[in-house]
Amino acid sequence: MPDLTPAPAGYRWPDGARLALSIVVNVEEGSEYSVGEGDRITEPVDELGVSLKQPLRNYGNESNYRYGLREGHARVARALDEHGVAATYTAAALSLERAPDIADYIRARGHEPCCHGWRWVHQFRLDEDAERAFIERGLDSIERSTGTRPVGWLSRYLHTASTRRLLQAAGCLYHMDDYSADAPFWGEVDGSDRPMVIVPYQLDTNDMKLWLAPGYLPSQWLEYAIDTFDRLHVEGAERPVMMSLGLHLRIIGRPGRIGALERFLQHARSRPGVWFARRREIAAHFAAQVPAP
């Protein structure tokens, strides 16, 4: 049986923690595709698996997204506050402009704002100049909304060969469009002689599964998340590892689902050697301990 990926010599989490746990709250509501925004497509009704074949404005689905802002975030915020968790908010900039109460909450509680695009749209379709403007506009907007300039970036699913180089030029510390590891690493940057810190993300523990497969119950999501946490906690005795738990206001913020998040946080809080970390902290700690190649 091959060994797991070894850690660089002397590299450990702060205070000898076994596991860095990154809670990621995605704020996409209010910046999704909509004919009402001038887009030629609209978002699918994921709870039902319905996609419109014509470019019609879907008022009902727009309200489905607004639920995350009006109701869902209050439940997510309450869970984070009750368990003393500092999270990374991967936010589409326009969403925070339209939900200043969430931006104020991020600022007041010391959560990390990370840029999830200017809007929650596909940046891979942009040419380099347009992508550069998209990145800078998103970073500038979130800095105005929260008082903190983001140093990390998450695309909507896909990015271009230029993305990391453009992020470097914009002053970003890390990129998280990667699913290849259970710990941060230095990643190559096309067109640059400097690597970039990659703080990998996870799709398998993401609550998006509850939307894409409505028959997938919160109890099943919770069981899988706890199994992931427990295995990584064991492996963390041999090497520093991290876990990402991706959340969405319109999904986990529903009354029938929020309890699963609360129970996960209770479980994680009950285990020793867990570093509840914002992603910028993970990236900065890694970069300080592991020299760039």
CA distance 28 to 103: 13
Residue 9 has pLDDT above 90, yes or no: no
Residue 1 placed within a domain: no
CA-to-CA dists, residue 50 to 125, 194, 250, 269, angstroms? 24, 44, 17, 38
pLDDT at position 5 is 60
Residue 223's domain is classified under what CATH number?
A: 3.20.20.370
pLDDT band at 2 (very low <50, low <70, confident <90, very high): very low
Residue 69 placed within a domain: yes
Q: What's the whole-number mean pLDDT along residues 77-96?
A: 98
Q: Please check whether residue 149 is in contact with residue 143, taking contact to mean a CB–CB distance below 8 angstroms.
A: yes
Residue 4 has pLDDT above 60, yes or no: no
pLDDT tens-digit map of 15-71:
999 999 999 999 999 999 888 888 888 888 878 878 888 888 888 888 999 999 999
Percent of the chain scoring above 70 in pLDDT: 97
Residue 120 has pLDDT above 90, yes or no: no
Percent of the chain scoring above 90 in pLDDT: 80
Residue 103 placed within a domain: yes
Q: Which two tokens stand for residue 68?
A: 């995350």
The count of structural domains within the chain is 1
Name the β-bridge partners of 19. 241, 274
Q: Please check whether residue 37 is in contact with residue 214, taking contact to mean a CB–CB distance below 8 angstroms.
A: no
Q: What's the whole-number mean pLDDT along residues 195-219?
A: 93
Residue 4 placed within a domain: no
Residue 6 placed within a domain: no
Structural domain containing residue 236: 14-289
Find where tokens 């995350």 sit. Answer: 68
Residue 8 placed within a domain: no
**pTM attached to this predicted model:** 0.95
pLDDT tens-digit map of 253-277:
999 999 999 999 999 999 999 999 9
- Any idea what the Cα angle at residue 105 is, between residues 99 and 107, rounded to 5°? 110
pLDDT band at 7 (very low <50, low <70, confident <90, very high): low
Q: What's the whole-number mean pLDDT along residues 217-234?
A: 98
Residue 146 placed within a domain: yes
Residue 3 placed within a domain: no
Q: Which two tokens stand for residue 239?
A: 């090497």
Q: Which two tokens stand for residue 85?
A: 């968790």
CA distance 28 to 91: 6
pLDDT at position 1 is 35
